[in-house]
Amino acid sequence: MGAMNKFISIEQAIARVKDGMTLMVGGFLGNGTPHLLVDALVESGVKDLTLICNDTAYPDRGVGRLIASGQVTKVYTSHIGTNPLTGERMNAGDLAVEFCPQGTLAERVRAGGNGLGGVLTPTGLGTLVAEGKRVIAVDGKEYLLETPLHADVALIRASVVDRSGNLAYRGTSANFNPLMATAADVVIAEVGEVVETGAMAPENVGTPAIFVDGIVAGAAAAPVFRSMIRARMGAGDAHYGGSLVDGAKMLQLFGDVATELLILHDGDEGLFAGYDSVEFLAPVHAGDYVEATGEITRVGNTSRRMVFEARKVIAPCPGISASAAEALAEPVVVCRASGTCVVPKNCQRWKN
């Protein structure tokens, strides 16, 4: 295949994924995930997928969107804690989850890419991980035989590609991507920058071109927009007995965070269209200091999808004295929410 022929459209890339296939997707909680490819895959409606990934990300971002849409029937992963929908579907019996310790998962993918028959590891011996697996003794020590993992298609994310198809990764965005590029029949890379052949130092090549079948170019990594404000809950914020603060105060803080995010992203305050989920997780009292954070997770033509979290970081200590307070060693999450804001086209002043 000629080098230039590897550059394909996102539609051509997604057409390679068929119902019932096994799919590897790179990334670690969304970092290094090919978001454009995943989003297009969600829109395609392809179903009955087996997914191999480090984690199932979040319900509205990364591979978590495939879980939320019901397109995945089985997943091999090391962690599902950030995506409650994975646990819900697993408990409901419509999603099979095979948990695998993270290091073992990486080695199983590596074994699949290198044509090995598996990997021997002591990790998981005597636990649920070992159920149904062979135990092999080597020099008197027992190991679990973990079988190799292989996929029909791997969707990966790289920072830079040259015209020949060599890939380079920046920082921790590499994570599982180079391994998965070796362990699938078809490898499609979403990339952020294209350079001429020879412009990339050989030692910076993380995945040689021979492993890459398709390249979706021009998918520059979108800048991450986050904001944080901190506020002290005063006596005027207390609405109930015991100086308990009304939950609406958290939503007010989230509204202020959203406004700042829109100003940073678009140069306009925009409009808050509404929340689609709100969770109140712990009480807040007068005198508490609350840190409210927000992040833009998805950008449409005019819509801006956001997630929010409020954490109590300082609390009064009335048992010591009327003015005593302390910074909490572990902040307490008091509220989480997600919602959508809108900025009309004619009000969007920045190009991101």
Per the CB < 8 A criterion, the answer to whether 295 and 286 are in contact is no
The arithmetic mean of pLDDT across residues 331-347, rounded, is: 94
What's the CA gap between 220 and 241, in Å, rounded?
52
Provide the residue ranges of all domains of the chain, joining segments of one domain with +: 4-216, 226-347
156 contacts 214 by C-beta, under 8 angstroms: no
Question: For the purposes of burial, counting CB atoms within 10 Å of the CB of 199, is it exposed (0-12), middle (13-18) or buried (19 or more)?
Answer: exposed
Is 3 or 272 the better-scoring residue by pLDDT? 272
Distance CA 113, CA 162 (A): 23
CA distance linking residue 68 with residue 142, whole number of Å: 39
Interval 99-122 mean pLDDT: 96
d(CA 255, CA 180): 40
pLDDT at 47 exceeding the cut of 80: yes
Question: What are phi and psi for residue 163, nearest 5 degrees?
Answer: -65, -15
Class of domain 4-216: alpha beta
Which tokens go with 70? Answer: 């019901």
Beta bridge partners of 191: 158
The pLDDT tens digits of the residues spanning 57-96 come to: 988 888 999 999 999 999 999 999 889 999 999 999 999 9
Q: Among residues of the chain, what percentage have pLDDT more than 90? A: 78
- Selection from 327, 331, 298, 333 nearest residue 315 by Cα: 327
pLDDT at 1: 40
pLDDT of residue 224: 61
Q: Residue 193 has what pLDDT?
A: 86
Per residue in 227-261, pLDDT tens? 899 999 999 999 898 899 999 999 999 999 999 99
CB 307 within 8 A of CB 337: yes
What's the mean pLDDT when you consider all of the chain?
Answer: 92
- Name the pTM for this structure: 0.65
226-347: which CATH architecture?
Answer: Roll (3.10)
Three-state SS across 115-180?
CCCCEEECCCCCCHHHCCCCEEEECCEEEEEECCCCEEEEEEEEEEEECCCCEECCHHHCCCHHHH
- 167-168/214-216 β-pairing: unpaired
Q: Which helix (H) or strand (E) holds 260?
A: helix 248-266
Per-residue pLDDT tens for 178-203? 999 999 999 999 998 888 889 999 99
Count, residues in the chain: 352
Residue 198 zone, left/alpha/beta (φ > 0; ψ -120 to 50; rest): left
